[in-house]
Amino acid sequence: MTQGIFGGGGGGRRAALSLVLAGLGAAALAQAPAGGGPKLQTGKEIFQAACAGCHGPDGRGMPQTTVGFERPPTFPDFTDCKGTAREPNRDWKSVIHYGGPQRGFSEIMPSFTEALTPDQIDKVVEYLRGLCREPAWPRGEFNLPRPLVTDKAFPEDETVLTTTINATGAAGVTNDIVYERRIGARNQIEAAVPFQFQRQNTGTWLGGVGDLTLGYKRNLAASLRTGSIVSVSGEAILPTGDKAKGLGSGVTIFETFATYGQLLPRDSFLQFQSGVELPTHTDDAPRAVFWRSVVGKSFIQQKGFGRLWSPMVEVLADRELVSGEKTNWDLLPQIQVTLSRRQHIRANVGVRFPVNNTGSRSTQVLFYLLWDWFDGGLRNGW
């Protein structure tokens, strides 16, 4: 949920102001269909009657001198696709139903539960969606819950810290920090730095920085009609880790892969990723192929507007392109949950079980904390 929809934090704002604004919206709605005049049947008519007093007749926001109160610094411009296209309808409806505080935004945005019917809110949201006139921006419905391993097709503005702990076999812990920045409607760049810690045969621990990854993602298509999104990505894994200490491969590896997401009925979803690893020197690391898939379903508290719980199961496979090598198969059940009211801080925990070739591969516990920093700071929206 980004700050760009209904305004940011309302430090020092009074709840009374919200009640006044809600009353004005209700009064406008009550007066509009009075007598024999036209009824409010379209999203535009409802918006003009209930919302334009603050958000302006064109959705860009009324001037500070007109609204009569101090506007939050992130007061929305509904025509700005950068701040609005990335949100699902559910987030818009939540704020309209329950007001800004529902998602950690300003109290200046009042609740319209008493002033608007659910059908009217649906019409207003669809009207506001039309104010973004750049179809290249994938809609927020495709910003599916992030799995622990499988990449997403949706371009992100996130920082993710993932911890992997070996539960069996050689003791080891890896912390991966991933930074993702969206560029325009369809592009994303990212950087990932691993910090590895391994227990030696002597009982001591050895740690250090692993191989740095730099990546680029390009969204190719997204269609709400079919419920599908597809992207392609390329990554370069640089040999910044010390191979002699087991902290890296010692060779540059290029990865290229495709990612796909599919919306399913009842808040269910499917995601898929497939690609190839191409080292610059096959004597140091073999070529390999991999494919990953995840299926999950989201459960939403508070009648579909509250905390989001998303259990998922990933099926992971990889195979080195060497004669005689077998495909490694893993299962990774997990659950993601939103922590902040704004839903921009999330956590996920799961266990990765090797299905075959278990002699040299460990069962692992994985956990991440995700910060969608475009939606606000770490202390915002709680």
Cβ-Cβ contacts under 8 Å for 351 (sequence gap 6 or more): 167, 332, 333, 334, 363, 364, 365, 366
pLDDT at position 303, please? 83
pLDDT over 80 (residue 67): no
Query: Do 140-375 and 15-129 have the same topology in CATH?
Result: no
Amino acid at 203: G
pLDDT tens for each residue of 267-291:
999 999 999 999 999 988 999 999 9
Helix (H, G, I), strand (E, B) or coil at 84: helix
pLDDT at position 60, please? 87
Kindly list the domain boundaries of the chain, sorted by start residue: 15-129, 140-375
pLDDT tens for each residue of 109-137:
888 988 889 999 999 999 999 999 999 99
Cβ-Cβ contacts under 8 Å for 350 (sequence gap 6 or more): 148, 312, 314, 332, 333, 334, 335, 365, 366, 367
pLDDT over 90 (residue 175): yes
Q: What is the pTM of this model?
A: 0.87
User: Which of 323, 241, 228, 311 is CA-nearest to residue 282?
Assistant: 323
Does CATH number 1.10.760 belong to domain 15-129? yes
pLDDT over 90 (residue 14): no
Average pLDDT over residues 2-18: 44
Angle at 109 between CA 108 and CA 114, to 5 degrees: 120
β-pairing, 205-209 vs 253-264, is unpaired
pLDDT at position 72, please? 66
CATH no. for 140-375: 2.40.160.40
pLDDT at position 302, please? 87
pLDDT tens for each residue of 72-101:
666 788 999 998 999 899 998 999 988 888
Average pLDDT, the chain: 88
Q: Which residue has the higher pLDDT, 381 or 291?
A: 291
pLDDT at position 201, please? 79
Q: What is the rounded CA–CA span in Å between residue 125 and residue 107?
A: 20
Q: How far is CA 247 from CA 134, 232, 285, in A?
A: 45, 28, 14
pLDDT at position 17, please? 38
pLDDT at position 106, please? 79
Partners of 293 in the beta sheet? 272, 315
Q: What is the rounded CA–CA span in Å between residue 342 and residue 198?
A: 37
pLDDT tens for each residue of 186-204:
999 999 999 999 888 787 8
pLDDT tens for each residue of 70-80:
666 667 889 99
Band of residue 7 on the pLDDT scale cut at 50, 70, 90 = low
DSSP state at residue 71: P
Band of residue 15 on the pLDDT scale cut at 50, 70, 90 = very low
pLDDT tens for each residue of 207-249:
999 999 999 999 999 999 999 999 999 999 999 999 888 889 9
pLDDT at position 23, please? 41
pLDDT at position 108, please? 82
pLDDT over 60 (residue 166): yes
Q: Which helix (DSSP H) or strand (DSSP E) does residue 366 occupy?
A: strand 364-371
pLDDT at position 52, please? 87
pLDDT at position 40, please? 76
Q: Which residue has the higher pLDDT, 14 or 380?
A: 380
pLDDT over 50 (residue 30): no
CB 205: neighbour CB atoms within 10 A? 12
